[in-house]
Amino acid sequence: MRILIVEDDPRIHQSLADDLRRQHHAVDVAEDGLSGLDFALTDVHDVILLDILLPGLDGLELCRRLRAEKSKALILMITARDEVGDKVSALDTGADDYLVKPFDLAEVSARIRALSRRQRVPQEPVLEHGELRLDPSRSLVSCNGAPVPLTGAEYAIFETLMRSPLQVFSRGMLRNKIAGFSDSSEHDSVKTHITNIRRKFRLAGGFHDPIENVYGVGYRLADSRS
């Protein structure tokens, strides 16, 4: 799923983003209400984790504007306010659920799964590029029908390239995508992960190198015709 976190406390949004990315979700983060509104209106998210007390635009008003714009995203309010009136206000503005800080990361994931089942979030379409195939809903990667077992960090890099096959990503951009993965220490370079991805595709019977080096710039998905 594609998830947007709108939370101004870096300790909270970083731990949330890291945990959700380890589960192979695509995660965007906004640290204020106006940025969160811009993210939500210019991209499609399945779930929005939304704090109430935000700089620029509070979470209640942000939620109200999203519903006025007919946003179909599932909205889970996450806040330190635990009074009944606060919960009622959040739900009345259009939130689907409400979670009080402090919380356990496992509970956030469970709430997201419960909301998804209730609202029947449609499965993301399978991404295909030549002999390459990535199923975001099941976090499965294959090459010519053969499964390719990627680690969390490798999957994050490969998914990023598959979602934007024409875009060139610098090492810094890809490094941000794998931050927080338990299988990716600070000593594991993006180059190392790219090398491992290529090796695994060769073992799976791939006819072509799936990733192209763009000299002096970074990496992109290789032309499937080459």
- Model confidence pLDDT, tens digit, residues 10-19: 999 999 999 9
Predicted confidence (pLDDT) at residue 182 exceeds the cutoff of 60: no
Domain assignment present for 33 = yes
Mean residue pLDDT across the chain:
85
Whole-Å CA distances, 132 to 115, 120, 170, 181? 31, 28, 22, 24
Q: What pLDDT, on the 0 to 100 scale, is given for residue 183?
A: 55
Contact between residue 181 and residue 22 where contact means Cβ atoms under 8 Å apart:
yes
Name the 3-class secondary structure at 14: helix
- Model confidence pLDDT, tens digit, residues 35-94: 999 988 887 788 999 999 899 899 999 999 999 988 888 999 988 877 777 778 888 888
Sign of CA dihedral 75, 128, 147, 21: negative
Task: Answer yes or no: do 64 and 161 share one domain.
Answer: no
Confidence label for 24 from pLDDT (cuts 50, 70 and 90): confident
Rounded to whole angstroms, the Cα distance separating 166 from 213 reads: 13
- Model confidence pLDDT, tens digit, residues 112-153: 988 887 765 556 688 999 889 998 877 889 998 899 998 888
Domain assignment present for 6 = yes
Sheet holding 47-50, edge to edge: 26-30, 2-6, 47-50, 74-79, 97-100
User: Residue 15: which domain range?
Assistant: 2-119
Task: Answer yes or no: do 71 and 150 share one domain.
Answer: no
Q: What pLDDT, on the 0 to 100 scale, is given for residue 132?
A: 92
Specify the CATH number for the domain of residue 83: 3.40.50.2300
Domain assignment present for 176 = yes
Contact between residue 61 and residue 33 where contact means Cβ atoms under 8 Å apart:
yes
Confidence label for 225 from pLDDT (cuts 50, 70 and 90): low
Predicted confidence (pLDDT) at residue 226 exceeds the cutoff of 80: no
Task: Answer yes or no: do 80 and 183 share one domain.
Answer: no
Q: What pLDDT, on the 0 to 100 scale, is given for residue 187?
A: 47
Domain assignment present for 226 = no
Task: Answer yes or no: do 106 and 215 share one domain.
Answer: no
Whole-Å CA distances, 106 to 26, 86, 164, 181? 17, 23, 30, 16
Task: Answer yes or no: do 17 and 50 share one domain.
Answer: yes
Task: Answer yes or no: do 114 and 154 share one domain.
Answer: no
Task: Answer yes or no: do 71 and 152 share one domain.
Answer: no
pTM score of the predicted model: 0.59
Task: Answer yes or no: do 184 and 103 share one domain.
Answer: no
Domain assignment present for 168 = yes
Q: What pLDDT, on the 0 to 100 scale, is given for residue 120?
A: 55
Task: Answer yes or no: do 151 and 215 share one domain.
Answer: yes
Task: Answer yes or no: do 76 and 145 share one domain.
Answer: no
Poorest-confidence range of 41-55, 100-114, 167-181? 167-181
Total domains in the fold of the chain: 2
